[in-house]
Structure 1
């Protein structure tokens, strides 16, 4: 093809057909420009295709992580609610001054050191920013919701920290010398009905209720993000 163009140019020039040669040269330039534009278009298309695949890969990774988080949250939520119901039952015993249930109250008190503790699969938004993959995600709503979800995670963890702190600072001193942990019995049952114990239980009820609300919010946020990602991946039902 190149030899053909060279021969044509040489023939036109040697025959002193300058006008035709000029038109031919312009046409050749146009063809070269068109060829370059096509090559650039193909290259741009290929780059967009690669970026789209990387975007989908990121979405799939995010979906996998937050679905793992949803499973963890569901388990933690159930654990938290179990203890919340237990605290409410303990408070009813104290309110009723039912000393016949002192041993039951002692068993509940021994379990008060247990609390729900959510651990996420990782800092998704921060990881996206640090890796530079955030720019690959074209759906701003998804990135905004991921950031919001991590804020919800932080709030849940703060509530869990508060719960742990009141266990250490309030429960341990309250139960000291009150329960025989080896025999699973209260040695000073009357202490379990005092205001200090009831206050701790009431605090725990409020905390578990707040934690349940935050866990539920996180699960709803995850469901929304997963739905949006499925739409981006073309896998929405």
Structure 2
């Protein structure tokens, strides 16, 4: 088409028709501009289409992550509630008027579980974190970005809190287990005569105080974790409802 206009312009110039020449020149410029605008429009459409596909994929992945968190959090909350109930049972038995050192012995050496049962595998925020790092977060709506950001902050606070409480509990638990080894567990002298000697010649006051420290650290960790996870669960469900119609 452009070659056609150029040929006409050349003929007009050779025939001395300057006025018509300028009209055709202007027409050629307009044609070029229209072509550029069409090309830009197609490029913008392709780019927007690409962004829309990426947005749809990321929203689907975020929705899947949030759903997985709901399941994991609900399971973890049930586990923590059961563990807290067990700890409360120990507390009630040890607080009774007829409680004795034998009561504590039975709990420590036959019932108390030193490990922590969280029942929670961690938050599913890989999609969100990868979008933050890649700069793709801007393709989401402002409201969703704000809600996901606030949720991520709460998740991180929960992780940090758990790690802090876990470190305190671990130190107290290791110290208690070293001084008062339990039969059948992985202690060098736990099940032999030396272990029996330690139990027979222990400082009972320190034994009670040390277990109380372990107990309180474990109870505090579960309670704190439970409150935080219930809050995060509520917010996660709200995001699914408000942004994903669930």
TM range (shorter): 0.7 to 0.9
Q: 1:86 offset after TM fit, Å?
A: 0.8
1:171 Cα deviation from its structure 2 partner: 3.3
Aligned residues of 2:65 and 2:124 also touching (Cα < 8 A): yes
- CA-atom RMSD in angstroms: 3.4
Structure 1 position 207 matched with structure 2 position 229: no
Paired residues of 2:172 and 2:213 also in contact (CA < 8 A):
no
Secondary structure of 1:22's partner?
A: helix
Deviations 1:146-176 (A, max 9, x none): 3332322222223332343343322344454
Does 1:75 find its partner at 2:89? no
Question: Matched residues in 2 for 1:124 and 1:218: separation?
Answer: 18
Q: Is 1:25 aligned to residue 39 of structure 2?
A: no
**Which structure has the higher relative contact order (CA within 8 Å, separation 6+)?**
1
Is 1:90–1:201's contact at 8 Å kept on the other side of the alignment?
A: no
Please state if 1:54 is matched with 2:54: yes
* Contact 1:156–1:211 (Cα < 8 Å) also in 2: yes
The separation in 1 between residues aligned to 2:67 and 2:235, in whole angstroms, is 11
**Counterpart-to-counterpart distance in 2, 1:134 and 1:67:** 20
What's the TM-score once normalised by structure 1's chain length?
A: 0.76
TM-score of the superposed pair, with normalisation by structure 2? 0.74
**Are positions 1:151 and 2:165 aligned together?**
no
Whether 1:221 and 2:235 are equivalent positions in the alignment is yes
Which runs of 5 or more structure 1 residues have no equivalent in the other structure? 231-235
Mean Cα deviation higher: 153-162 or 28-37: 153-162
Distance 2:16 2:166 in 1: 96
Task: Give, in whole Å, the separation in 2 of the partners of 1:74 and 1:206.
Answer: 20
**Structure 2 match to 1:132:** 135
Answer yes or no: is the 8 Å Cα contact 1:80–1:115 preserved in 2.
yes
Q: Do 1:90 and 1:108's aligned partners in 2 also have CA atoms closer than 8 Å?
A: no
Gap runs ≥5 in structure 2: 186-198
CA contact (8 A) 1:115 1:164 kept: no
Partner of 1:233: none
Task: Provide the aligned length of Structure 1 versus Structure 2.
Answer: 229
